[in-house]
Amino acid sequence: MSSNPIHEKISCEIQNHLVVLYMKGTKTAPMCGFSSFVAQTLNRLGIEYHDVNVLEDEEIRQGIKEYSDWPTIPQLYIKGEFIGGADIVRDIVKSGEFIELLQKKEIPFKIENQSF
C-alpha cells in the first residue's frame, strides 16, 4: 500500500487521543442523528473524546471510510481500535459490552442513574 497522507493524518489522530469520534458535526452540534447518538452516549458517560467533523474536510470524510474499510459515519475509535458506527455502539451499549470495553481499556467514565 502506498503512503497516503490522509491515512497518516487519521492514524496520528487515533494514536494521539484515547477516544476519537469521526462524526458529522461536532460533539456540541451534531449534524445527523447517528452522530448525535454516539456523541450523546459518550457525553452522558462523561468520556473525554476528540471529535473530528468530517463535513469540514471531504478528504477526511472519504479517507476515514477507506482507513477503516467501513462505509458510514460516525466512526468511534478507542485506544486505537475501531469500535464501529452508531448501530454497533447502540448494540454494545444495550448489551452492556460498552461499559465492559471501557473498563477493559481503562477509559474513565461515570454512570449517574443512567439506563445502560
Q: Report how far residue 62's alpha carbon sits from residue 93's, in angstroms, rounded to the nearest whole number.
A: 27
Please tell me whether 32 is known to bind a ligand.
yes
Q: Among all chains, which residue has been given the C-alpha cell 476515514? A: 64
Strand order, beta sheet including 75-78: 50-53, 19-23, 75-78, 81-84
Residue stretches of the annotated binding site: 32
Residue stretches of the annotated binding site for [2Fe-2S] cluster: 32
